[in-house]
Structure 1
Amino acid sequence: MPLNRDDHVASYIDNKIFFLGGGTDTQNLTNDFFFLDVSIPFNTSSLPLYDLNNITEIPYNRRASSVVCETVNNVIFVWGGDFGFNSSSPLIFAFNTTAKLWNAANDKGIKPPRRRYSSVVCDKNAKIYILDGTADQNIGNTSSPYSNELDIFDTSQLTWSLGSILNAPAPHDIGTATLLPGGIIVYIGGSNSFGKYLELTQVFLYDTLKSTWSTMNTTGAPPTARGFHTAVLTRQGHIVVYGGENAPLTPVPDQLVDLDTNVQPFKWTTPSIDFTPNPAPFRGHSSTLVGNYMIVAFGWFNNGTGSSRSNKIIMLNVNDANNYMWVSSFTPPAVLSATSQPSASISPNTGSKNNIAEIIGIVGGVVGVVIISAVIFLVYRWYKNRDDINVIPSDDAFKRSKEIIS
């Protein structure tokens, strides 16, 4: 499976980043399916990638959007995108990471037109908000090519509804949507016609609790207008915007910018970083936040004479908003938490009686563990020798699929 690709989707769930679809140098559409294991430390020169193509049950696709709802366990939702000339393909696909199964959502209500390059988030009520995007007859939509329709998909009821468009941004595509903890969606950038890009001096805000739109004029050094960028929200409340173009296939000069949402109005800064990895994509890539790392995968990069698809993954450490750093080594959040725990403090000596009580408690605990272990062992031997047990075969399809990608 070639790794070089663009316009794929990436979804972080169950300590894995699942990658799906996109275009490669040999195929305009694919249904390639694989994941990056982020439960273990690794280096970008040796990535723990695993092939899942033997359980892919979704049409060939590109320019779709994916989202994970934090209140819906073990499910990735994939919306819209190009499916060739198969305009009858379902609008919403769902992958269950536990059952390892793909399903088309049996959605109800007034279904929206299929679109590509949409901005998608999911709130705490498991509602997916889908804004903007483009469409044409190739994906079963003959309406206006640019959209500012806000479609809401309730994953618990599998029903569609329309959000407000009063004071919504103009129809556009290739922007980003970021959900803040308070229920506000921040929409940044995009394009409302070929070669024209939205300024980042103004961002659009949608309040999911009140169903209302507003705009905010940002402060700080104004970044270059752009589309085809990505955005992640750090644990410190900063939206890190990476990549983008301000003319067709022309990278913006300020590839990395930061929007601080802790201040009102939000403030832009351009981080000072010593170097940028090579090749560094500027469009068609994905960015996923895992712990302290923004993991940027694949996409188009400038090779000096033109653009090529990348087969690389690069990482930015975003732990310190004043000191972002491109790094080659990854440490999982669980390992970080374990290593950052303070050492156990030693209580002052309060007398020998307390020490004796502590010793008695420890000895009693050890004896209790020994007794329980002996009982468990005897029960296990009796259970193992029974003749009336029906063994249910385990589902090892996922294990068989874990063939590492070289």
Structure 2
Amino acid sequence: MFSIFIFLQLMIIANSYSYIPLNRDEHVASYIDNKVFFLGGETDTQDLTNDFFFLDVSIPFNTSSLPMYDLSSITQIPYNRRASSVVCETVKDAIFVWGGDLCLNCSSPLIFAFNTTAKVWNAANDKGIKPPRRRFSSVVCDKKAKIYILDGTFDQVIGNITTYNYSNELDIFDTSQLNWSQGSNLNAPIPHDIGNATLLSDGKIVYIGGSSAYGQYLELTQIFIYDTLNDKWSKMNTTGASPVARGFHTAVLTRQGHIIVYGGENAPFIPASDQLLDLDTNVQPFKWTIPSISFTPNPAPFKGHTSTLVGDYMIVAFGWCNNGTGSSGSFRSNKIIMLNVNDTNNYMWVSSFTPPSNLSTTSQSAAYTSPTESNSNNKNNNISVIIGIVVGIVGIILISVAIFLFYRRYKNRDDIYVIPSDDTFKKRSKSVI
């Protein structure tokens, strides 16, 4: 019995981070309840998936050993790729997923929602004038729990030819009323897709980049701003650096008011030369800088990835990487890389994550300054893990011996009748989100 106990405990330790995601791109990511949830995307073997899993960001971890957990046991998970997901600040237990591609002969609601408390997916019973399903849209949610959806492409079948139609409609979904409406498109950007939207604290949405047609990328030196309070568009010519035009990039807003743009292509499957950008929204007009970083993880994705801000870490997940030889040298990844954005003057790629409540504003000990230091950090972390496992095993053995001796001492007593059971071990092995 005690050998089984030890074996089960070792299996729990070994399999604590057992889920390894497939190489993928065009998935969605959402941060809520100390977890980054990932859904769908395209893999090397499937065009559409409903893979559903999360990264636990309530605990420290290293990018070489990620605390990933599979949620495939949950039912009604929507298949998708090229969709958009968003979490509303005032809706505490929901992830909303909009649009995206469907499988042939499939039908699906425009809006799905995952209830993180009940652990169920539901289709939104939406009302109003529904927009056409689009892919590659820019989506944000304001403090009134209204979702703003701009741009994207949709299909129009003419004869046997399917064409992509580019949109610049601004559709608004009120999550409290489950109702659709439209915002103004006067002075809005031209129809496009694969751009990016970022909501500022003053209720304005900053739209950056995109493509008006395949291979025709929008300049970043001119950005468009939508005022959610007054339903008005404006455009701004930025100062500072002149970043390369691009699409397929991602962006996060730091607590210092800087928009960090990562990735993007400026020709099909060709990464933009300046993969990391900083837009300071504290000055008027906004100012671009191109951070100088001595070391970048390799491989690093440039399109089809997601970027999620957790505390002072921008977590970049999966996507297409490129070895410098164009589309023939591109490959999907299942890796995660992280950028520490705490210091606006010194962004650093890091290998270790510390939960926000324990973050130090000065500690940069996990920074990627060179491949040599990175390997040294990984070795130290691996040694720590090994030591922890050994200590755990020794502790388990000592406890098991003590229980065995106690059992031997009292097994012949007439007033005790024990029926052995391993139900307790089964309960311990169940995963809980």
Determine the structure 2 residue equivalent to 1:362: none
CA-CA distance at 1:3 after TM superposition: 2.5
Task: Indicate if the aligned counterparts of 2:184 and 2:232 stay in contact, CA closer than 8 A.
Answer: yes
Q: How does 1:254-403 map to 2 (within 5 A)?
A: 254-305=274-325, 306-336=329-359, 400-401=430-431
Kept in 2, the 8 Å contact 1:52–1:401? The answer is no
Q: Provide the secondary structure at the position in 1 that maps to 2:73.
A: helix
Deviation string for 1:109-142 (max 9, x for gaps)?
A: 010000000000000000000000001148xxx8
1:168 is aligned to 188
Separation in 1, partners of 2:361, 2:252: 24
Show the 5 A alignment for 1:106-145: 106-137=125-156, 145=165
Give 1:5's match in structure 2, choosing from 19, 24, 29: 24
Equivalent positions of 1:198-217 (< 5 A) are 198-217=218-237
Q: Is the 8 A contact 1:54 1:401 kept in 2?
A: no
* Aligned residue pairs, count: 344
Sequence identity (%): 81
1:77 corresponds to 2:100: no
**1:304: how far off?**
4.2
Alignment map for 1:173-192 (pairs within 5 Å): 173-192=193-212
Deviates more, 1:75-84 or 1:296-305: 296-305
Q: Deviations over 1:348-396 (max 9, x none)?
A: xxxxxxxxxxxxxxxxxxxxxxxxxxxxxxxxxxxxxxxxxxxxxxxx9
Instruction: Show the 5 A alignment for 1:212-227.
Output: 212-227=232-247
Change (3 A) 1:56 1:44: farther
Q: Given the two structures, how large is their TM-score scaled by the length of structure 2?
A: 0.77
What amino acid is aligned across from residue 317 of structure 1 in structure 2?
A: N
Q: Return closer, same or farther for 1:56/1:6 CA change in 2, 3 Å cut-off.
A: farther
Q: Which runs of 5+ in 1 are unaligned?
A: 341-395
Contact 2:168 2:192 survives alignment (8 Å): yes
SS at match of 2:127: coil
Contact kept in structure 2, 1:3 and 1:298, CA below 8 Å: no
Q: Equivalences for 1:34-53 in 2 at 5 Å? A: 34-53=53-72
Instruction: Name the residue aligned to 1:64.
Output: 83
> Unaligned stretches of 5+ in structure 2?
1-19, 364-425
Which amino acid is 1:66 matched to?
S
Provide the C-alpha distance between the structure 2 equivalents of 1:143 and 1:338, rounded to a whole number of angstroms: 50
- Opposite residue 299 of structure 2, the aligned amino acid is P
Cα separation, 1, equivalents of 2:341 and 2:131? 36
Normalised to the residue count of structure 1, the TM-score between the two structures is 0.82
Residues 12-69 of structure 1: per-residue CA shift (max 9 Å, x gap): 0000000000000011110000000000000000000000011041332100000000
1:132-169 deviation digits (Å, cap 9, x = unpaired): 0001148xxx8971000000000000000000000000
Query: CA 1:112 to 1:25, structure 2 compared with 1: closer, same or farther past 3 Å?
Result: same
Contact kept in structure 2, 1:151 and 1:160, CA below 8 Å: yes
Match of 1:17 in 2: 36
Q: 1:226 to 1:205 in 2, by over 3 A?
A: same
CA RMSD of aligned residues (A): 2.0
Given residue 112 of structure 2, which amino acid in structure 1 is its aligned partner?
F
Aligned amino acid, residue 134 of structure 1: T
- Mapped to 2, the partners of 1:86 and 1:181 lie a distance apart of 42
